[in-house]
Amino acid sequence: WRGSYDKSSMSCFMTKYYATHRVQYFGQVDENGIWGNWTIGSRRGGFHLWPKKSPGEEEEEVVEEEVVIEATV
């Protein structure tokens, strides 16, 4: 992983490298984690990273939805 985090704008940029490709993440930070978009070549989608619960905190049901938008050239 490589990336940056800007506290003044509450935004981040991360790149994760794999043997065959890389994934770029652009996100905004709030009290619920990091929300944003990922890009692999011309493919795009959304993501949400959230912090782990502290011991004793109530569990919430988590629903994930992946959205893939194909780029047209």
Query: pLDDT by residue (tens digit) across 9-68?
Result: 999 999 999 999 999 999 999 988 899 999 999 999 999 988 877 776 665 555 555 556
Q: Is 71 in contact with 44 (CB distance < 8 Å)?
A: yes
pLDDT in tens, 23-38: 999 999 998 889 999 9
Q: What is the pTM of this model?
A: 0.65
Write the CB contacts of 31 (distance below 8 Å, at least 6 apart in sequence).
none
d(C-alpha 71, C-alpha 73), whole Å: 6
